[in-house]
Structure 1
Amino acid sequence: MFNLDELLRENIKRLVPYSSARDEFKGEARVFLDANENSLGSPLTKWYNRYPDPLQWKVKEKLSVVKGVAPQHIFLGNGSDECIDVLIRAFCEPGIDNIIIVPPTYGMYEVSANINNVAVKKVPLTPAYQLDLPAIEEAVDDNTKMIFLCSPNNPTGNSLDRDDVEVILNNYFGLVVMDEAYINFSRQRSFVQELEDYPNLVVLQTLSKAWGLAALRVGMAFASEAIINIMNKIKPPYNINQASQELVLKALDEVEQVNEMIRVLVTERTRLEQELPGLTVVKHVYPSDANFLLVKVTDAHGIYQYLLDKGIVVRDRSNVILCEGCLRVTVGTEKENDELLNALKTYAV
């Protein structure tokens, strides 16, 4: 049975979090003399001399409408990378505990674990890029605190079989972290709506992809209120700056514009899926639910360098397990995709 208290590190249970001036103050005021800010303002605007809301309640309240999740079930991080790091620091005892990842997958799960001296168990996906459930079951031990899953998966682009994910959620009693950075480009249903059914579920999303706000570095974690409270206990006091909060609030008013961008990118993705296989340098294009394609080519290193010489940057994933000979190609604008296609047509095999 899932027991959050048993998963949590002992020092985190005892931790008294840093209490910032804006944590202690609640309500409205005219004169702020509590946080040692510059009362005269700043060279930019008077507002930026004040510390931002440490728990970003206005952003969370607006997000709750968009996502259909109560604000107390939302954590905001400095990118999803901070969410990953906070989870590992909260629940994994350095030098003792481990996490499971399923490569090929997003690299920061392993990097964050390594930084925190937490062992990483790797259970590769099947050749069809799906979960190997028997191998995952065999890898789990008493010190496995969490399993990281990415769907749609990066770098393969496909969605994981939902039934397989639910098997893990129903039979594993550590945390299951479902990274949905690319969910907006997929027809798959988000696991955010399953939080009430699975107390051990944490869903990660981001404003960097479909929302086009990569420069603001705002990631989201959705989980039970108990897990969110633990994450808030650990994070730096003001981890989302005021400018980012303001810009995110403006962006969240433009849902239809975002939906239109998604429609355009999915249309362009379909065009690339149809045109790339006809090129002599392309051996296979893998199905994608994301805003990128994994493309197996005749000479990954050579084609990568060739495109780079033409000012076109893709990602060489040929050194990643199960992605040998592959490039990962982000779906660009219509013009950018035309440039890519034309360049590949002229590549001398």
Structure 2
Amino acid sequence: MSIPLSVLDLLPIPSGSDAPTALQDALKLVQDVEQLGYKRYWVAEHHNMLGLASSVPLAVLAAASQVTSRIRLGSGGVMLPNHSPLSVAEGYKLLSALAPHRVDLGLGRAPGTDGRTARALRGVNPEQPFERELAELIAFGTGNYPAGHPFAGILAAPVGEGLFPPLWILSSSGYGAEVAAYIGAGLAFAWHINPDTAMARAAADSYRAAFRPSPDFSEPRVMVAANVVCAPTQQEAEELALPLGLMFLRLRLGEVGQFPSVAEAKAYPYTEQERAVAEAAIRRAIVGDPQQVAARLKQLAHDTAADELILSTLLHDPAARQESYRLVMDAVAQL
């Protein structure tokens, strides 16, 4: 199996720990996965979630740029409705100056949080369509404005050749595929959120059929995201995955807190309905020993026609998380 693997990090803050420690763990992780051969390290944007330290991906990526030298760094993604397009263009061009030729700008149109927090993020700015925000972002980043544009002449600083990074559009349905094809961007399908393999394949096929080449992408490029928990044995992996179910249950209940431990997940007094919610969340992940995980990833890549897979591993123990990524890479390399 020669398909490239990448990492999507949500920066879990384990119960009993804190944000500074989680950030240091993230910097260790990005160094580890760079050495293991992962192609990209992306950081997701989430808000009002006390168990995750990924509220400002740009800050994490700037720090990661100083402790790595090869791995590509990117947002997975910037939730564009939460931000000014000009500020996004400036921030990621500056990141490109810190890490030349290895920055990706992944963009999504979801808020990455609940509706109330989204309103707080956006302040008094009126909402505008994602397509308009995207067009403004590209114009600010490249200087290519349509005739008569009111912001013509404004350039996102710093200015320099190759600083505006390649764009990726995040999608959990067919809409993002249409946008990515139209602007000649990469497509990142969120199978870890919507594990509908048929929909992922349909999005990939429609994207490839409608793709218009761009300076950054001469050909279409599809990346598929998956939640993965890998351990030496299936039993160990299933145990490590238990907190994932509790985390999603708490999100469903509107509760916020740090990422739970295995002991907390085992001790939680689930109702029958709550247990069903938690178990369903775990079933959306690929959980198992190295051979099982590698086989399922190979099948996922085949079924979705992915060019690349990006893996998110949420575990309470940072060492177990790093070990999961190592086991996966070693197993996939042997296929």
Which of 1 and 2 has higher RCO (CA within 8 Å, sep 6+)?
A: 2
Greater Rg over alpha carbons, structure: 1
Larger fraction in helix: 2
